[in-house]
Chains A and B, each alone.
Chain A
Amino acid sequence: MTVETSIGDARKGYDRVEVPAPGGGTRSLTRKQFETLPLRERVGFLIEGTAQFFLEGRPILASDAMRV
């Protein structure tokens, strides 16, 4: 039996993330680009909950994105 869930594929984590842009709006980053942001900036996005993570085009929860 296959069970559909909304938590995404926890084995893959995320492949894209949208974060607030400095001048307003959002900017889209690849996983590698996000991981090379200064830690302070990444932590800020995660605390505020302003980072939206995606896997294969589908939005996923930050907690699922951070598993891998």
Chain B
Amino acid sequence: MSVARKALEMTRAATEAIVQRAETRYEAHRQEIFRSADRMFAGLMIGQWIFAIGIALVFSPYAWQGKVKTVHMHVWVALVLGAVITSLPVALAWLRPGEPLTRHSIAVGQMLWSALLIHLTGGRIETHFHVFGSLALLAFYRDWPVLVTGTVVVATEHLLRGILWPESVYGIPNPEWWRFLEHAFWVVFCISFLILSCRRSQTDMRVMAERGAELEALSENQWRNSSVVERAAADTRGDR
């Protein structure tokens, strides 16, 4: 094999190794962000569950059926439905952290938590702020499709509940039919900017990984151009 051919093959091999390491670094960084957000949401979901039970106990602890005092349905809804909404996302965050299924399940669960809290507070408009807060928290994933999942869930839930049980979502019995569209508009307005931010973050992460690769390539070039004595000294120092 000629020297030139051997040098070319060495360059190709070094290039592949450096590009591969850059890709590995990028993926590792993404996984770290996904797993960290999964853990955060697992804690948040449990916190929301406790909070919802607290709300139900404070605002509507009992109901009366004739002279019989019973625990209000809201308490059971908070307890049981809260457990149902919380269990799958928390289990996935625990068992399959960093996977797409986990973060999309969390997006669905988080939006259902908004719905449940809105219901428990009798459709208070202030509780709708939970939707926007949740979308901002979902942006921690820096993965814009998660925001789309959350938006679809909250829009569908508002539409269906607006038709079937408008008091529970808007606090009034006869809202305009298009009220859900107004809410959906503000959600879309919010996520438009969050999606831009997620995409920019992804680009920045990619650039960081590629900068590392370029510096590695420079180091490789300097090593190749160094003399045998310099290489031996570098090896002794443990530079390579």
Against B, the Cβ 8 Å flags (1 = close, 0 = not) of A28-68 are 00000000000110111011110000000000001100100
Q: Does B167 contact A (CB under 8 A)?
A: no
Q: How many A-B residue pairs have CB under 8 A?
A: 48
Against B, the Cβ 8 Å flags (1 = close, 0 = not) of A9-37 are 00000000000000000000000000000
User: How many Å lie between the Cα of A63 and that of B225 in the bound state?
Assistant: 14
Partner of B215, one of A44, A49, A66: A66
Q: Are B214 and A40 in contact (CB under 8 A)?
A: no
Q: Are A46 and B22 in contact (CB under 8 A)?
A: no
Prevailing SS type, chain B contact patch: helix
User: How many Å lie between the Cα of A63 and that of B222 in the bound state?
Assistant: 9
Partner of A43, one of B15, B222, B224, B225: B15
Q: Are A48 and B221 in contact (CB under 8 A)?
A: yes
B216 surroundings in chain A (CB, below 8 A): 43
A63 surroundings in chain B (CB, below 8 A): 218, 222
Partner of A48, one of B11, B16, B213: B11
Partner of B19, one of A39, A48, A49: A39
Minimum CB distance partner of B206 in chain A: A39
Q: Are A43 and B19 in contact (CB under 8 A)?
A: yes
Q: Does B217 contact A (CB under 8 A)?
A: yes
Minimum CB distance partner of B220 in chain A: A47
Q: B179 → chain A, closest Cβ, in Å?
A: 46
Q: Does B210 contact A (CB under 8 A)?
A: yes
A49 surroundings in chain B (CB, below 8 A): 221, 224-225
Q: Are A47 and B19 in contact (CB under 8 A)?
A: no
Q: Does B14 contact A (CB under 8 A)?
A: yes
Partner of A47, one of B11, B210, B211: B11
Q: Are B18 and A43 in contact (CB under 8 A)?
A: yes
Q: B9 → chain A, closest Cβ, in Å?
A: 12
A40 surroundings in chain B (CB, below 8 A): 15-16, 19
Q: Which of A39, A42, A62 has the most CB of B within 10 A?
A: A39
B14 surroundings in chain A (CB, below 8 A): 47
Q: Are B22 and A39 in contact (CB under 8 A)?
A: yes
Q: Are B218 and A66 in contact (CB under 8 A)?
A: yes
Q: Using CB atoms and an 8 Å cutoff, list the residues of chain B in contact with chain A.
A: 11-12, 14-16, 18-19, 22, 210-211, 213-218, 220-222, 224-225
Provide 16 A-B residue pairs closer than 8 Å at the C-beta atoms, listed in order of the A residue. A39-B19, A39-B210, A40-B16, A42-B210, A42-B214, A42-B217, A43-B213, A43-B214, A43-B216, A44-B12, A44-B15, A46-B221, A47-B217, A48-B11, A63-B218, A66-B211
